């Protein structure tokens, strides 16, 4: 049921006519009592599902103690969170913000600050099909016209190479003398596009040869989703800067820019800031989220469950080859590409009716983002609903 008070909101979302009331684990219930398997996880935010005890305890305990002070003071949880991130990543330093687009914005600013001290360079190479956010810096690094329409002019100095084409990046680097390359290890918004093995390693080598920084946008695929804590670890490389958000805060808004010491040192007092970034509540929830992912080996579990899910969905594809063109993914970011857009839309609507929530992206791809602590029984339910929904659409003509 739609909330009639929605008439007061700006119409920036095409919302389903459903109002959710409560959640537990992988499941949501709407205001009419209908139960759904939530394989959207709030767009890759709820990696531990809904109302996980560790997150709930961290939020309630911190809310009863101290919610906000600002970064005019040291923040105990923020210090603990930064240590946790540095100890489990390539980075030496962390800057906290509130969202993914802010993390990308901070990453671009940091790269340009570094570039100003390294030859006065400011150009940035991004990739076609990328989605990096909706603020002007992040949007300038996003090539798709559907996000850009009506907002020009954009920041100068951004150039776009085809995704998964390292030679194109090398050519652009020679032509534009950039300070950085920014890309996603897996393109989520573009339909779960997984590059071939070795792509990130090749880009890393190009960045080294051309004295460019490598910025990785792991906002959607970081925090264990692909089978590693961070997706670039599959390629055994080290970026210079990494943007995180979404699942970092366990459901509480929290973003971060991670960087090596050589790059981070260019952010001096006053160079960048965030009023709410890393406040006690957000940092406390993020500490609990990371601790749980590490202690329960959920990254490794995501890889195993992702293989199981893809195998089951490949069986569905073989059953309906005229309707499903490809099944792909890495860990628990999974895509089902349908051959026809109308058919995909109909299957999406029927899947919601049948109790499964996924994301329809690029008009024909189911983007599926289960919690990392889902299980095979829930995956089997999802596969059964997808199969039933396809059958219903086919039978309806």
Distance CA 52, CA 47 (A): 10
Question: Which stretches within 191-251 are classed as H helix?
Answer: 199-210
1 pLDDT higher than 70: no
40 pLDDT higher than 80: yes
**Residues whose CB falls within 8 Å of the CB of residue 148, separated by 6 or more in sequence, listed in order:** 139, 142, 154
Res 364: pLDDT: 98
Torsion sign over Cα 354, 357, 358, 364 = positive
Give the residue numbers annotated as catalytic, written as ranges: 131, 217, 246
Q: Both ends of the chain: CA-CA distance in Å? A: 28
Q: Are 362 and 191 in contact (CB under 8 A)?
A: yes
Counted residue by residue, the chain has a size of 397
Residue 2: pLDDT band by 50, 70, 90 thresholds? Answer: low
388 pLDDT higher than 70: yes
Distance CA 76, CA 156 (A): 39
- In this prediction, what percent of the chain has a pLDDT beyond 70? 99
Residue 251: pLDDT band by 50, 70, 90 thresholds? Answer: very high
- 143-154 pLDDT, tens per residue? 999 999 999 999
- 170-209 pLDDT, tens per residue? 999 999 999 999 999 999 999 999 999 999 999 999 999 9
Q: Are strands 20-24 and 356-357 parallel, antiparallel or unpaired?
A: unpaired
Quote the pTM value.
0.96
Cis peptide before 153 (omega within 30 of 0): yes
Question: Which stretches within the chain are classed as H helix?
Answer: 41-44, 53-63, 76-87, 100-116, 136-140, 145-148, 166-176, 199-210, 261-264, 280-295, 298-319, 341-353, 376-395
Taking alpha carbons only, the member of 388, 394, 334, 396 closest to residue 366 is 334
Distance CA 350, CA 392 (A): 8
Which residue ranges form the domains of the chain, and what is each CATH number? Answer: 4-52+297-395 (3.90.1150.10), 54-295 (3.40.640.10)
249 pLDDT higher than 80: yes
241 pLDDT higher than 90: yes
Average pLDDT, the chain: 97
Distance CA 133, CA 98 (A): 13
The arithmetic mean of pLDDT across residues 332-346, rounded, is: 98
- 70-112 pLDDT, tens per residue? 999 999 999 999 999 999 999 999 999 999 999 999 999 999 9
């Amino acid at each position: 049921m739609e909330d009639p008070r929605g008439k007061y909101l700006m119409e920036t979302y095409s919302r389903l006519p459903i109002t959710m009331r409560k959640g537990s684990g992988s499941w949501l219930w709407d205001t009419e009592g209908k139960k759904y398997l939530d394989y959207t996880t709030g767009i890759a935010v709820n990696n531990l599902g809904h109302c996980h005890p560790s997150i709930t305890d961290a939020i309630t305990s911190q809310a009863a103690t101290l919610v906000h002070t600002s970064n005019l003071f040291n923040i105990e949880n923020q210090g603990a969170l930064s240590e946790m991130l540095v100890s489990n990543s390539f980075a030496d330093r962390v800057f906290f913000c509130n969202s993914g687009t802010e993390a990308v914005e901070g990453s671009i600013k940091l790269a340009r600050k570094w570039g100003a001290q390294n030859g006065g360079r400011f150009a940035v190479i991004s990739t076609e099909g990328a989605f990096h956010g909706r603020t002007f810096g992040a949007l300038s690094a996003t090539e798709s016209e559907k996000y850009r329409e009506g907002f020009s002019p954009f920041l100068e100095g951004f150039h776009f190479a085809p995704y998964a084409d390292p030679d194109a990046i090398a050519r652009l680097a020679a032509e534009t003398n950039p300070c950085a390359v920014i890309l996603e290890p897996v393109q989520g918004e573009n339909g779960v596009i997984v590059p071939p093995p070795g792509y990130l390693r090749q880009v890393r080598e190009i960045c080294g040869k051309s004295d460019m920084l490598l910025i990785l946008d792991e906002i959607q695929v970081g925090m264990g989703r692909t089978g590693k804590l961070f997706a670039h670890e599959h390629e055994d490389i080290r970026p210079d800067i990494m943007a995180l958000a979404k699942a970092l805060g366990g459901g509480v808004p929290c973003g971060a820019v991670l960087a090596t010491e050589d790059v981070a040192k260019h952010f001096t007092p006053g160079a960048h800031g965030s009023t709410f970034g890393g406040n006690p509540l957000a940092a406390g929830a993020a500490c609990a989220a990371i601790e749980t992912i590490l202690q329960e080996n959920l990254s490794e579990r995501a890889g195993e469950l992702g293989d199981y899910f893809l195998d089951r969905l490949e069986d569905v594809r073989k059953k309906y080859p005229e309707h499903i063109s490809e099944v792909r993914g890495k860990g628990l970011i999974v895509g089902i590409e349908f051959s026809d857009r109308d058919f995909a839309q109909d299957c999406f609507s029927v899947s919601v009716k049948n109790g499964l929530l996924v994301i329809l992206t690029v008009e024909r791809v189911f983007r599926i983002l289960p919690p990392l602590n889902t299980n095979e029984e829930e995956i089997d339910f999802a596969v059964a609903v997808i199969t039933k929904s396809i059958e219903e659409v086919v039978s309806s003509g």
